[in-house]
Amino acid sequence: MRIIKYNNEKFIDAEQYAGSEFETWYNTTVSYLQNVIQDESVKADMLMDNDKYLIQKTDGDTCIVLGHDKIYRKKKFPLSAVAFECPMVVTFLRENLLGIMPGIALRPGYDAHAFIHELLHALSSTTIHFFNENGISYIKIGTKVKYIDKNMEYVDGKNLSAEGFNEGITEALASLITGRFTGQYPSHTAIGTLFVTSNSLALNAYFSHDLSRLEEFYKDLEEKQSIITREDLMNFGKDTSEELIARIIAAGVAYNKAYNQDFDEQLYSLLIQNMDNADRLDNGSWRDLIAKYQTGIGSMS
């Protein structure tokens, strides 16, 4: 990885990466993931080009990115975020081959948890993109999938993307790696945690560059419980209704229990308590609402 800054219309090294806090956080993250990911091809996807990732620190509300047209542009931080991952350098390597180098932008206030969250987005990103005979490729960041043409315009493609679920897995993994559940994004974190601690399929779907791993996870999800379908998971984030959140968590519990005889009730209680603290319901608790949907273990009808 490189810690860079923008100077005289180009990126240059800003400080030494070796021995920095970022190297420590990176090593902690990768060590954890190599222990929990079982599939060697998925590990290879996760580690592809990671030595070329970029870190850019700034005191303002923008960072600099280099587009496929070789023009440097400012990119704003999202709202109050102190860290975010973005395609920092985009380059056509050949006519039908696009390279996207992830970068992590940081401003004052970031900590290990914030950095690791964004690092997970980078580690789960596709960096090499082949365009098919129709001039279409896809960008995959975790379980978020977008299709693009050679003008870098979004186009329609097979609907597999689960963007809210993607944030849930990312925050869940960041929390498991740091050992600190911050209470931020509590429903996303609860959902992500239940699925990534179930088996390897959700992790494979998140880190693999191959879309078939997403399909594999969705298929298994629908075979092991009948509370939700893949479409419910894909709609989470766009639909933030209490009913959908409760159903997905109930499905996550059923799915987790289908693989784990010793369900982690202590962790589950922590996740639900964080939801009660942050997103208090008008009537009753989240645990009670979720319990209404805790049926449907088995095949989809």
Mean pLDDT by 10 residues, the chain (301 residues): 93 95 97 96 95 95 96 95 97 95 97 98 97 96 97 92 97 97 93 97 97 98 96 95 97 96 94 93 92 64 33
Residue 56's Cβ-count burial label (10 Å; 0-12, 13-18, 19+) is: buried
pLDDT at 295: 66
- Please report, for residues 37, 164, 301, the alpha-carbon distance to residue 115 in angstroms, rounded to integers and kept in the order given: 21, 19, 42
pLDDT at 282: 86
Six-digit token pair at 280? 């208090």
pLDDT at 83: 98
Contact 268, 198 (CB under 8 A): no
Residue 204's Cβ-count burial label (10 Å; 0-12, 13-18, 19+) is: buried
Task: Give the C-alpha separation, 79 to 100, whole Å.
Answer: 24
Torsion sign across C-alpha atoms 121, 128, 160, 235: positive
Alpha carbon 56 to chain centroid, angstroms: 20
Q: What does the radius of gyration of the chain's CA atoms come to, in whole angstroms?
A: 20
| Residue matched to tokens 């993307």 | 161
In total, the chain counts a number of residues equal to 301
pTM to 2 decimals? Answer: 0.95
Six-digit token pair at 234? 């894909």
Six-digit token pair at 263? 């369900």
Contact 34, 43 (CB under 8 A): yes
Q: Domain residues of the chain, as ranges?
A: 2-130, 163-291
Nearest to 256 by CA among 214, 229, 225, 233: 225
pLDDT at 296: 44
Contact 1, 15 (CB under 8 A): no
- Please report, for residues 151, 167, 176, 212, 250, the alpha-carbon distance to residue 172 in angstroms, rounded to integers and kept in the order given: 34, 8, 6, 23, 17
Contact 98, 120 (CB under 8 A): no
Task: Give the C-alpha separation, 301 to 299, whole Å.
Answer: 6
Residue 183's Cβ-count burial label (10 Å; 0-12, 13-18, 19+) is: middle
